[in-house]
Amino acid sequence: MASGIRFEGTAFWVRHRHREYGPFDYEWARDLSGIELLYQRSKFGEYCSVDEVCADLRDFKLPMRVVEVSSIVCGTIIVGILTGMEMDDRYALVRQHLNDRGLDRFAENIEGWNS
C-alpha cells in the first residue's frame, strides 16, 4: 500500500508514497493540565484548552501530506479522548474526517484496529 495509517496502541504511523512516518503519539502533561503531542518521542505540540492548541512539525521536514494527515488524526483522537468516546468511535471519526477532507486513500487503508 502506498498510503495509509497504522495504529499500535496509542501510537500511529502515516504511510505516504510507500514510506512510513512516525510514531506519532500523545501523553498527558506531567501536571495533567494538557496533552502533549509527540513525533518520534519528541514533543511537537500541546493541547492546553479548546482555545489553546499549538503544534509545529517544521523541524522534522515531513511531507505536507503527512503533516496534514497526522494533524487530522491527532486532533480527532484528542477530541475523542476529551469527550469520552470509545476507541472504535474515535477511529470511525478519524476515518470520517479523512474522507471529508479528500484523504480517502488514507482512510481506506487503516490498520491496527477492528475497522
**Residue 105 CB: number of other CB atoms within 10 A?**
16
Contact, 13 vs 22, CB < 8 A?
yes
Q: Does residue 29 form part of some domain?
A: yes
> Looking at the predicted structure, is the pLDDT value of residue 40 above 70?
yes
* Residues pairing with 67 in the sheet: none
Mean pLDDT for 76-103 is: 93
Q: Does residue 115 form part of some domain?
A: no
Boundaries of domain holding 58: 4-109
Tally of structural domains, the chain = 1
Q: How far is CA 100 from CA 27, 93, 95, in A?
A: 27, 10, 9
Distance of CA 107 to the CA centre of its chain: 12
Q: Does residue 114 form part of some domain?
A: no
Per the confidence metrics, is the pTM higher than 0.85? yes
Distance of CA 78 to the CA centre of its chain: 9
| Rounded percentage of the chain residues whose pLDDT exceeds 70 | 97
